[in-house]
Structure 1
């Protein structure tokens, strides 16, 4: 237990050493170093949490968690496949899709466009795309017409607006002479904005209209699956595929988008290592401060020892000094880190507006803003690590202080 006398003496020593400018400067440096390390670690961990949240809720809410595609022919009995999928534990919903890769022309040339033929009644259960477009645009996809809803970035790139016509060239997979392209004219009925590269590549049309263009009748080229647990998707889609008689290609998000999640986790791990090292370096300043304090206070240590203060109490005196440094630095860093992390998105927007730059381009990243999510367990982890490391840094100097020989220290002082 902490000796109350050791606490009082340690506090007085801490205040007294601030009067020594050099020792005070080293002490302040250690406090600032711990504060900066804790602040930066909280901010960056919050940014990584934000990226992971956006990946799961925004991006993975739109792209399929898993997908079944016909290997040799389109899926004729897609309704039976959906019924089988709906009966499996862990699968939330399934939806038929006709995916088409097309080309559309604009002033600068041709642009690739990924067409998704959907049935809104099914798609609303298997995807969150409805949330990112106006209700009029969503309702237009329920009709078996030539309506098309473009990504906002794609519409801007093509220079088109709602109500205009758009010509798209798609391969006719039913042609006997190969993939002969056919032209299809669509009416732009709306735009969607998910954020990121999808806005520059994708468009949605009615599935029955897409089937009419390709002569597929009431078929689908793939079934998209949504699961209640992202990490169970590979197992679930494999079990579903093996239970069906038709030859199918199976795919899941770990193959198509898994690199994004892996990159986030890798960066998070690197930040833990690097920034913990930053805090450790700052804690070495505590060692330097206390070593100099021990040399400066040898006569006082000798007097306390001759007055009966035991070695454990002397150790506690100098541990208190280092702990005060670490506590102040940690509190400042954690408070500043929480404030910055809570307002990180707004701060980045203000920086972009002030300097006229774009830090995150939607055409490159899967989102076009810097997200942030402050989590309590990150704050607790950073606080505990900073306090423990600063306390450990006090052990050696405090132990050296307890070994000071009173007689020799007093004779040297005289």
Structure 2
């Protein structure tokens, strides 16, 4: 029998299923299950892509890709270190910084603060923090004064407004060397403005002028370390090791995978788990195809016998019922792709609409590094979801199709 005839008969058998309402219901359930599984898989994968993209574009735009810090003493010649960094292929920027850990007093206790002294001239080469604060506030960090820029969440928590003063308490390093443990010094700063980024960065980071902080710590021209920006964030561990091993001074080597890598690992873990769960949902839906075909074979036993007496080979019967079952998988996959891609393209707007309608916040900027639900549709995810659904649906047709090909024509017609 020609191949086209087998496809035509399979399509006829599929359309004729409405003669049995129960078989029709099971076929509809399998098609709907596959469509739902494919759609949700595409939506979840797009959301995970969105989180990963925002992690790189927003979070890693502020968090240093990698940095070198002095071990026992500040870095004296940071210009040479920055020059060495720019000679390495893959590093696109280098900038000095001074870091100081301290405490600020707030109602009810103290708040830990990571104070970073930067120079706008150099910091713009490695960080996009300027995009999250007002232009005049960013320029104030270039002045050699006591201006400080806090995260908006921290400023609100401390009850501070622009122009207010705050005291930062830091360990007295000189006193520590003489054995006076617990000694501390206080430094006064004036709030020049705030930056709004979201998440823990707003609560724990603050920026001041590098020159002013160097003066307070009596660093002179020395700095705490040099941070770099790279073209490929996943190459940061390799590049910072290459730079660190080329230095004469002992330095600590750190990169974003050590300090913030848990966020990326969490995204990948959720992606993997959701992929497995939704793949199982599609597999369960495909099992309904088995039920549909088994009942269809029993319902079409006499038709199968007649076809076989007319000379149709058993291989053609197998192909016929594979086509019969694959139609459900094909329709379900097509519907799932249309539904999934439509929702994935409009997921941020849909999430914002739900937040407005029910008065809830799906993502809080105080907890996550973003306050909206991102989505980034990638066609390879659509292809993989479609191929997986189609392969599962085809595999589900094998047993019933082979069972149909083993029908004994004489016994089937005699039983008719």
TM-score bin, normalised by smaller chain:
over 0.9
Name which of 306, 315, 319 aligns with 1:316. Answer: 319
Match of 1:211, SS state, is helix
Name which of 242, 265, 274 aligns with 1:271. Answer: 274
| Paired position in structure 1 for 2:126 | 126
- Counterpart CA distance in 2 for 1:208 and 1:2 is 84
TM-score (norm 2): 0.94
Q: Does 1:223 align with 2:241?
A: no
1:25-65 superposed Cα distances (whole Å, 9 cap, x missing partner): 11111111111111111111111111111122211121111
Q: Does 1:380 align with 2:371?
A: no
Q: What's the offset of the Cα at 1:399?
A: 1.4
1:59-117 superposed Cα distances (whole Å, 9 cap, x missing partner): 11211111111111111111111111112222111111111122222334322221111
1:9-408 aligned at under 5 Å gives the runs: 9-175=9-175, 177=178, 180-408=183-411
Unaligned runs of 5+ in 1: none
Aligned-CA RMSD value? 1.8
- Counterpart CA distance in 1 for 2:244 and 2:320 is 68
Match of 2:125, SS state, is helix
Q: Name which of structure 1's ranges 176-185 and 217-226 shifts more when overlaid on structure 2.
A: 176-185
Aligned length: 413
Residues 195, 362 of structure 1: 8 Å contact kept: yes
- Counterpart CA distance in 2 for 1:400 and 1:374 is 41
- Counterpart CA distance in 2 for 1:138 and 1:169 is 24
Q: Name which of structure 1's ranges 101-110 and 390-399 shifts more when overlaid on structure 2.
A: 101-110
1:322-352 superposed Cα distances (whole Å, 9 cap, x missing partner): 1110011111111111122222222223333
Unaligned runs of 5+ in 2: none
Residues 195, 368 of structure 1: 8 Å contact kept: yes
Q: Name which of structure 1's ranges 99-108 and 195-204 shifts more when overlaid on structure 2.
A: 99-108
Match of 1:366, SS state, is coil
Q: What's the offset of the Cα at 1:2?
A: 7.2
- Counterpart CA distance in 2 for 1:13 and 1:236 is 62
Match of 1:269, SS state, is helix
1:253-300 superposed Cα distances (whole Å, 9 cap, x missing partner): 221112222222222222222221211111111011001000000111
Q: Name which of structure 1's ranges 315-324 and 114-123 shifts more when overlaid on structure 2.
A: 315-324
